[in-house]
Amino acid sequence: MSVMEDVYPSRVGDRVRLIERADPVIYGTRTQPGPLTAEQLDFYEVNGFVVLPSLFQPDEIARLNAELRSLADSPTIGELDETITEPGSGHVRSIFRIHQLNEMYGRLARDERLAGAARQILSSEVYMHQSRVNLKPGFAGKEFYWHSDFETWHMEDGMPRMRALSISLALTENYPFNGPLMLMPGSHKTYISCVGETPANHYKESLKKQEYGVPDHESLTVLTDRGGIVAPTGPAGTAVLFDCNTMHGSNSNITPYPRSNVFFVYNSVENKLQNPFCGLTPRPEHIASRQRTETLAPLPTS
């Protein structure tokens, strides 16, 4: 591949293109050790995600929730660049770079059930491309439109290839009706090259509402005609691992049931960021790590 070639162009023209994935889904020879079974790896390869029900126990989740509450209630948290607050109420909605801001979440990021699964799928050491906790209150959870994370990470952060994955660990129960993560099975095999150019400082808005790099209705219909939609449900402690190119989104949540989760993006150390492919300045460090790319090695056994 020449330096000039971009196998995953987007936001460059006025026509949508469906581009076949040029990268493996499961890297390596499947002989790498890790917590996932052969069946789970097979499912992930075909569908672009796998659900691990109750991967964490209730007492572990209780501790993570208590820590998160005290973090969100601390008087200075709102002053951090890493913190996104609700307009109006000032309530904390997300905290980025949580695995470096908080020790308990730092240990969680290196937990073998998560980082080990990432290493197993990506067949290399991994580092954290982005981490955050999301606190979505009941009654007023907003929808988040369909998107491939990779399209954004490639265009706006300069992630070269599809060798990253996300893990969403539920801190509250996911019901069908409290705005759970929805995924399009099989969508990870197709890259949707979106129309339109990326405006400067787009990231400030895009964390609240996606407007650029938005897939079109026709392409989304192609993907759902192929594989439908799934919206995994399950108790707090359930994790969803999904490929960086799996199309996903969520509906609004008018129910009283809040939805909180930890969101970790593991990238292969072989896939570190280059210049953004859209030609703009990179997004800030807490959205996309460039300097802080320490390998997430296993925790020492105590």
Of 118, 115, 116, 121, the C-alpha closest to 28 is 121
**Residue 166 burial (C-beta neighbours within 10 Å; 0-12, 13-18, 19+):** buried
Tokens of 227: 């594989």
Interface with a second copy includes 252 (CB under 8 A)?
A: yes
Q: How many residues of this chain bind a second copy (CB under 8 A)?
A: 25
What's at 171, amino acid-wise?
A: L
Minimum distance, C-beta of residue 232 to a second copy, in the bound complex (Å): 11
**Residue selected from 30, 69, 70, 177 as contacting a second copy according to rule CB under 8 A:** 177
- Is residue 108 left, alpha or beta, with left meaning phi > 0 and alpha meaning psi from -120 to 50? alpha
**Residue selected from 7, 46, 104, 182 as contacting a second copy according to rule CB under 8 A:** 182
Interface with a second copy includes 217 (CB under 8 A)?
A: yes
Interatomic CA distance for residues 68 and 71, integer angstroms: 5
Tokens of 232: 């995994």
Are 164 and 150 contacting, i.e. CB atoms less than 8 angstroms apart? yes
Interface with a second copy includes 220 (CB under 8 A)?
A: yes
Interface with a second copy includes 210 (CB under 8 A)?
A: no
**Residue selected from 251, 263, 269, 282 as contacting a second copy according to rule CB under 8 A:** 251
Interface with a second copy includes 175 (CB under 8 A)?
A: yes
Minimum distance, C-beta of residue 151 to a second copy, in the bound complex (Å): 17
Q: The sheet that has 181-183: what strands, in order across it?
A: 144-147, 248-250, 181-183
**Residue selected from 148, 152, 253, 260 as contacting a second copy according to rule CB under 8 A:** 253
Minimum distance, C-beta of residue 210 to a second copy, in the bound complex (Å): 11
Interatomic CA distance for residues 239 and 253, integer angstroms: 20
Interface with a second copy includes 54 (CB under 8 A)?
A: no
Interface with a second copy includes 172 (CB under 8 A)?
A: no
Q: Choose the stretch contacting a second copy; rule: CB under 8 A; options: 39-47, 126-134, 254-262, 273-281.
A: 254-262
Residue closer to a second copy by CB (options 142, 204) is 142
Q: Choose the stretch contacting a second copy; rule: CB under 8 A; options: 112-120, 136-144, 152-160, 237-245.
A: 136-144
Interface with a second copy includes 221 (CB under 8 A)?
A: yes
Interface with a second copy includes 257 (CB under 8 A)?
A: yes
Q: Choose the stretch contacting a second copy; rule: CB under 8 A; options: 37-45, 67-75, 110-118, 251-259.
A: 251-259
Interatomic CA distance for residues 108 and 98, integer angstroms: 10
Interface with a second copy includes 124 (CB under 8 A)?
A: no
* Terminal C-alpha separation, the chain: 45
Interface with a second copy includes 146 (CB under 8 A)?
A: yes
CA 65, 232, 30: angle at the middle one, nearest 5?
95
**Residue selected from 249, 261, 277, 289 as contacting a second copy according to rule CB under 8 A:** 249
**Residue selected from 81, 86, 103, 143 as contacting a second copy according to rule CB under 8 A:** 143
133 contacts: CB under 8 Å, gap ≥ 6: 68, 94, 95, 98, 105, 171, 260, 261, 262, 263
Interatomic CA distance for residues 139 and 124, integer angstroms: 42
Footprint on this chain of a second copy (rule: CB under 8 A):
138-139, 143, 145-146, 175-177, 179, 182, 217, 220-221, 224, 229, 231, 249-257
